[in-house]
Amino acid sequence: MLLDAQQRHEEAQLDAWIARTDRNRLYLLLPSEALLRYLAPLPGKALAVYVLLEWRARLLGRTTVLAPPEFLQQWGCTPTQATGALRRLEATGFIHVVYRGRQPPQVTLLPVLS
């Protein structure tokens, strides 16, 4: 499922809101304990990237979101780490990633055990 113009606009608005909001006022929800058991052993920033993508998806009310490098960098994840994390998460079946050239990757969170 590719994002339409309205959904890309919502993504941009969310990024602007995150950028101007005090970091101490943002709350991230952790995945369930069962899901954490699967994610925690993954190397690198896979757990952090999944938590951030799930949070983004919850705020937007859908399962497919963009993963802009700027968004992940705000939370301490370099582009190389983000790419590695996306590949690991996709290889383990937690997400599906559509790479679109120089555009941010489009990530769909797949249903998992909770």
Structural domains of the chain, ranges and CATH numbers in brackets: 5-109 (1.10.10)
Report, as ranges of residue numbers, the positions in the chain whose pLDDT lies below 50: none
Global pTM reads 0.80
pLDDT value, residue 26? 65
pLDDT value, residue 7? 78
Do 72 and 80 touch, CB atoms closer than 8 A?
no
pLDDT value, residue 58? 86
φ/ψ (deg, to 5) at 81: -65, -40
pLDDT value, residue 114? 53
φ/ψ (deg, to 5) at 2: -90, 145
pLDDT value, residue 99? 92
pLDDT value, residue 53? 94
pLDDT value, residue 12? 79
